[in-house]
Amino acid sequence: MDFITESHYYRVMPMLFEGLVWTLLITGVGLIFGFILGAIFGFARLSKNKIIYGLATVYVEVVRGTPILAQILFIYFGLSDLMGVNIDKITASIIAIAINAGAYIAEIVRGAVYSIDKGQDEAGRSIGLTRNQTMRYIIWPQAFRRMIPPLGNQFVISLKDTSLFSVIAVGELLYMGQQYYGATFAAFEALTMVCVMYLVITVPTAVYLRRVERRLDV
Amino acid sequence: MMISVRDLHKSFGSVEVLKGIDAEIKEQEVVCVIGPSGSGKSTFLRCLNLLEEVTSGEVYIEGDNLTDPKININEVRSRVGMVFQHFNLFPHRTVLENITLGPIKVKGIKKKDAEKAALPLLEKVGLSDKADVYPESLSGGQKQRVAIARSLAMEPRIMLFDEPTSALDPELVGDVLEVMKDLAKEGMTMVVVTHEMGFAREVGDRVLFMDEGIIMEEDVPENLFGNPQNPRTQEFLSKVL
């Protein structure tokens, strides 16, 4: 018993729990805004209006074509510099997740809506529903179901991406682990537990998603 | 006239699919459109509720010019029912919800009233016991009958059928045709694109034979099937009859 309570595996845990709370908070809030951005830009990518389509495409390609580490540094240091104000680290992290995930979610939304059979739209329009009503009552509910697996996947990716915010000293999970071994030199134990904490979230999510996916297949 | 079509042309890119169609369809008339695949008959039908944009010419539904940019197309479509080859039921909604969606959202009818009105329609198509199931559990013939009920729920003045039995197993075709026959008897104005020559002959008031984007020949079924004048019609009928 003494061995366990004395060990670094045990003593690192309170710090890691605190880090995990920030990791989940940044991921959760970031993805809520990311989903809103994704829905807006996803529909924009489906637009026949060339300007709207073009702007959305630029957003998606810029975000997907640059590393998220560069994006977080750009938001935290670059934008602060430009605007002459200090952005809070947590806010910067949430913005980074939102903008980054938003681009990927835009492609998820676009793909899911596009995948719904054209006959569904025609059936809706032919009973007299407007374009918006058809989207809202017929296309979107079916598309949303197809989005659940890739959105869950994006959750796992964004959750892991928050570890990069350790570079701006956000007190998320990995950063807290680093703090611990910085003081104790117990890097192996601390990083093992950091990984265990990530896995405790990501593995059940993956299992759950596979179940949902199988159900959607039927 | 319920439907008037004047010099209708339709192109997809550089391919002209309809090359000048003129047609008049009276109230309560049942018009069957036959012809080889690629003759433009489905495209013609889809122009009648503007599922296809018209390239040139005019389409009038009960006097309303669909090619007028100011037309409220949603309102016109609520008067024109359409039944598709592949049913296009809404898979995330029950049979009853499929039928009531239009009346509730387009006509603003209360949910309860729409459901009450849907029951006789389900009875008419012989599916009273299927109100609460999802489309995936239905056979093709049942799906198509639900699709017909869904269109009828809007109380349309005209019904368009786009090869309604082409995707069905042969033993399921009869039930769908029965429902369509009943509709015709009740006096519904119908335009039916079909490969069912028996149906066209028995139920049609008039048959249009289309080929290469034009109406090659039209007549009452007895004449068109019994004594076709155009060599193209003769050739087509000799292959399918």
Name the band, by pLDDT with cuts 50, 70 and 90, for residue A2.
low
Q: How many helices (H) and strands (E) does chain B have?
A: 9, 10
CB A72 within 8 A of CB A92: yes
Is residue A188 less than 8 Å (CB to CB) from chain B? no
Residue B130 is encoded by which pair of tokens?
Answer: 């299927």
Name the band, by pLDDT with cuts 50, 70 and 90, for residue A5.
low
Is residue A148 less than 8 Å (CB to CB) from chain B? no
Interface test with B, best of A116, A117, A122, A126 (most B CBs within 10 A): A126
Average pLDDT over residues A190-217: 92
Strand partners, B21: B8
CB B86 within 8 A of CB B135: no
- pLDDT at residue A1 greater than cutoff 70: no
| CB within 8 Å: B150 and A127 | yes
Residue A166 is encoded by which pair of tokens?
Answer: 């350790």
Angle value at C-alpha B24, between B20 and B27, nearest 5 degrees: 155
- pLDDT at residue A127 greater than cutoff 60: yes
How high is the ipTM of this complex?
0.93
Name the band, by pLDDT with cuts 50, 70 and 90, for residue A86.
confident
| CB within 8 Å: A129 and B51 | no
Beta-carbon contacts below 8 Å between A and B: 60
Question: What's the rounded Cα separation, in Å, for the pair B48 and B43?
Answer: 9
Question: What's the rounded Cα separation, in Å, for the pair B128 and B119?
Answer: 7
Interface test with A, best of B46, B64, B72, B74 (most A CBs within 10 A): B74
Name the band, by pLDDT with cuts 50, 70 and 90, for residue B186.
very high
Higher local confidence (pLDDT), B206 or A214 = B206
* pLDDT over 70, % of chain B: 100
What does the pLDDT read at residue A84? Answer: 85
Question: What's the rounded Cα separation, in Å, for the pair B85 and B2?
Answer: 23
Set of chain A residues whose Cβ sits within 8 Å of the Cβ of B77: 125-128
What does the pLDDT read at residue A3? Answer: 59
Name the band, by pLDDT with cuts 50, 70 and 90, for residue A81.
confident
CB A171 within 8 A of CB A93: no
Q: Specify the 3-state DSSP secondary structure of B133.
A: coil
| CB within 8 Å: A129 and B102 | yes
- pLDDT at residue A218 greater than cutoff 60: no
CB B5 within 8 A of CB B59: yes
| CB within 8 Å: B88 and A117 | yes
Burial of B219 (0-12, 13-18, 19+ CB in 10 A): middle
- pLDDT at residue A217 greater than cutoff 70: no
State the average pLDDT for chain A.
94
| CB within 8 Å: A125 and B86 | no
Determine the residue of chain B that is closest to A133 in CA distance: B105
DSSP A67: -
Q: Which of A216, A210, A130, A34 is nearest to B73 (CA)?
A: A130
Set of chain B residues whose Cβ sits within 8 Å of the Cβ of A120: 88, 90
Average pLDDT over residues A176-190: 94
What does the pLDDT read at residue A203? Answer: 96
What does the pLDDT read at residue A80? Answer: 85
Q: C-alpha distances in angstroms, B179 versus A127, A179, B17, B101, B174? A: 19, 75, 31, 22, 9
What is the total residue count of chain A? 218
- pLDDT at residue A147 greater than cutoff 80: yes
State the average pLDDT for chain B.
96
Q: Which of A167-171, A211-215, B111-115, B167-171 has the lowest mean pLDDT?
A: A211-215
pTM value is 0.88
CB atoms within 10 A of CB B42: 21
Burial of B211 (0-12, 13-18, 19+ CB in 10 A): buried
CB B58 within 8 A of CB B65: yes
Q: C-alpha distances in angstroms, B145 versus A86, A149, B140, B148? A: 65, 34, 9, 5
For residues B109-128, b (16+ Cβ closer than 10 Å) or e, as one string?
Answer: beeeebbebbeebbebbebe
- pLDDT at residue A153 greater than cutoff 60: yes
Question: Phi-psi bin for B194: left (phi > 0), alpha (psi -120 to 50), beta?
Answer: beta
Determine the residue of chain B that is closest to A142 in CA distance: B92
DSSP B138: S
Average pLDDT over residues A74-91: 90
Determine the residue of chain B that is closest to A216 in CA distance: B92
Set of chain A residues whose Cβ sits within 8 Å of the Cβ of B51: 122, 125-126
Question: What's the rounded Cα separation, in Å, for the pair A53 and A48?
Answer: 7
Is residue A137 less than 8 Å (CB to CB) from chain B? yes
Average pLDDT over residues B96-102: 97
